Amino acid sequence: MTNLIILPILIPLFTGAILILLYKQITAQRVVAMISSIATIITSWLVVQKVREDGIQSLNVSSWDAPFGITLVSDMMAALLVLTTSVIGFVCLIYSFKSIGKEREKHYYYAVFNFLLVGVNGAFTTGDIFNLFVFFEVMLMSSYVMLVLGGTKVQLRESIKYLLVNVISSALFVIAVAYLYSVVGTLNMAHISARISEISTNGMPGILSVIAVMFLIVFGLKGAIFPLYFWMPGSYAAPPIPVLALFGALLTKVGVYSITRTYTLFFYHDMDTFGLLSILALLSIIVGVIGAIAFWDMKNIVIYNIIIAVGVILYGVSVLNTASITGAINYLIHDMIIKAALFLLIGIVIYITGTSDLRKVSGLITRYPGLGWTFFIAALALAGIPPLSGFVGKLLIVQGGFEGESFVGAFIVLMSSLLVLFSIMKIFINGFWGKSRTYNGEEQAPVRFLLIAPILLVIISALYGIGSESILPYINQAADTLLDPNIYIDAVLKE
């Protein structure tokens, strides 16, 4: 069935539309959202299998031929990211049931939740640069609503900043697309790539390098790289936990994906821009590490860890050899899973203790051993301890760094792991060890149901690490497409 790859976009879209009608019946909303979420996981799994067997899937919407209509393209990287997004969506959904509260659920929470997934899945799947902009806007508008829903003072204040930054970056995106259109005269990504290689036979013209840097600024603002990360710590600390987990796992990763896609598909003729990307990625790692060890607030520690991970992935992309690209894709998927898990776990700690200040929390492990050990495993996975999921990706990125003779970069990535481990173990040691105390006068808060979601993610993360042998063929296939744009171009333009 050729329409298979559009289903991970259409299912959440229709679900969102139906959920608007059901806004008063909370139980019905939950059931519908749950069913659609499972359906999305199944279809995106089928897409992954289809791409594995038959190569890149492309769908010309309305059967207009490739450069003239909008083309949806699912290569292995997009398919894997859509699958990961669907899984994270499902997990955050079941966490929301218990934690988001009736008032928000009545005000279209699940509808907006589904529209966010439409935007993210669409941005991963599209093969048209302006369509990418539209899906970005779908994603961002849902994220504005999710950020402000509830209307507390801190949410209002941070939404204004988040909104302003994203309005500016969207305008820059439009400007960058306008410049690119005037140079190449097409919007289809495969066709743009083909045209750019035609005019770049003797090196890339200067104007294209400028456009490349503009795209880096636009997607860097979305993906929070140095020096464009300034909006993130404040904005991400404002919303409730399941929303924060969705944002932390998905939104910045769409920016990272877009940088990866545009740089490997369009701008691979000019290694200077890759040098710039490499420097910015390494500075992101350093800034993120400084933030992660400086704070005593649990949310802030994990938020700065997002910046570190974005830096590590983009460093892998900027080195551009087989090992580093494979590592970057591997690490990207691992990081989406583990960041969602960590935010959800911290959410449970905040639910129990009523504070996110680490100095006011201690001894949780005596009353909540399940929570404690899950957090411990998640922390080890984040730092990249061998049997768990973060190891293979980082190993390959470091290997790629050494092969590309970028020794300083590889060293910074290695050192950052140590400090990441320190920052996250700071939460474990201070929060879970030490003298046990009671919070809000209760012996034990009911956290069984809340714990299901992060445990699911940690199990997935562990399996992802242990079974990396069987996952590697998929990731290699994704890396092959990124390293050789002709595979992508041929699949879309069918020459």
Partner 1 sequence: MEIIMAFVIGILFMTATYLMLSKSLLRIIVGTGLLSHGAHLLILTMGGLKRGDAPILGGDAVSYTDPLPQALILTAIVISFGVTAFFLVLAYRSYQELGTDNVEEMRGTEKDD
Residues at the site binding partner 1, with contacts judged by CB under 8 A: 130, 133-134, 137, 141, 144-145, 148, 151-154, 156-157, 159-161, 163-164, 167-168, 170-171, 174-175, 177-179, 181-182, 187, 237-238, 356
- What is the spatial distance between Cα 121 and Cα 115, in angstroms, rounded to a whole number? 10
Looking at beta carbons only, is 266 or 391 nearer to partner 1?
A: 266
- What is the spatial distance between Cα 451 and Cα 348, in angstroms, rounded to a whole number? 8
CA separation (Å) from 115 to 16, 111, 143, 155, 424?
A: 6, 6, 9, 20, 32
CB of 244 to partner 1, least distance (A): 12
Give Cα 365 to chain centroid, integer Å.
30
Exposure of 415 in the CB half-sphere (CA atoms within 13 A): 12
Looking at beta carbons only, is 298 or 381 nearer to partner 1?
A: 298
CA separation (Å) from 459 to 147, 187, 447?
A: 29, 41, 18
- What is the spatial distance between Cα 383 and Cα 417, in angstroms, rounded to a whole number? 5
Identify whether the C-beta of residue 66 lies closer than 8 Å to the C-beta of residue 60. yes
Looking at beta carbons only, is 196 or 282 nearer to partner 1?
A: 196
Identify whether the C-beta of residue 281 lies closer than 8 Å to the C-beta of residue 412. no
Looking at beta carbons only, is 50 or 360 nearer to partner 1?
A: 360
CB of 164 to partner 1, least distance (A): 6
Looking at beta carbons only, is 144 or 376 nearer to partner 1?
A: 144
Looking at beta carbons only, is 306 or 310 nearer to partner 1?
A: 306
CB of 190 to partner 1, least distance (A): 17
Residue 365: closest CA among 274, 291, 436: 436
Looking at beta carbons only, is 167 or 418 nearer to partner 1?
A: 167
- What is the spatial distance between Cα 139 and Cα 251, in angstroms, rounded to a whole number? 8
Give yes or no for a cis peptide into 227 (omega within 30° of 0): yes
CB of 343 to partner 1, least distance (A): 15
CB of 291 to partner 1, least distance (A): 14
Identify whether the C-beta of residue 400 lies closer than 8 Å to the C-beta of residue 323. yes
How many separate helices (H) and strands (E) can be counted in the chain? 22, 2
Looking at beta carbons only, is 319 or 350 nearer to partner 1?
A: 350
- DSSP E strand boundaries for 251-294: none
Looking at beta carbons only, is 142 or 330 nearer to partner 1?
A: 142
CA-based Rg of the chain, rounded to a whole angstrom? 22
Looking at beta carbons only, is 251 or 456 nearer to partner 1?
A: 251
Backbone φ, ψ for residue 404 (5° rounding): -85, 5
CB of 82 to partner 1, least distance (A): 23
CB atoms within 10 A of CB 421: 16
CB of 384 to partner 1, least distance (A): 31
CB of 126 to partner 1, least distance (A): 14
Non-local CB neighbours of 403 within 8 Å, separated by 6+ positions: 321, 323, 324
CB of 439 to partner 1, least distance (A): 17
Looking at beta carbons only, is 355 or 476 nearer to partner 1?
A: 355
Identify whether the C-beta of residue 30 lies closer than 8 Å to the C-beta of residue 97. yes
Residue 159: closest CA among 235, 252, 54, 245: 235
Identify whether the C-beta of residue 80 lies closer than 8 Å to the C-beta of residue 8. no
Looking at beta carbons only, is 175 or 459 nearer to partner 1?
A: 175
CB of 460 to partner 1, least distance (A): 31
Non-local CB neighbours of 110 within 8 Å, separated by 6+ positions: 19, 29, 30, 32, 33, 93, 96
CA separation (Å) from 202 to 180, 197, 275?
A: 19, 10, 19
Amino acid making up residue 52? R
CB of 347 to partner 1, least distance (A): 14
Element (H, E) at 493: helix 485-493
Looking at beta carbons only, is 48 or 145 nearer to partner 1?
A: 145
CB of 479 to partner 1, least distance (A): 33
Identify whether the C-beta of residue 121 lies closer than 8 Å to the C-beta of residue 69. no
CB of 72 to partner 1, least distance (A): 17
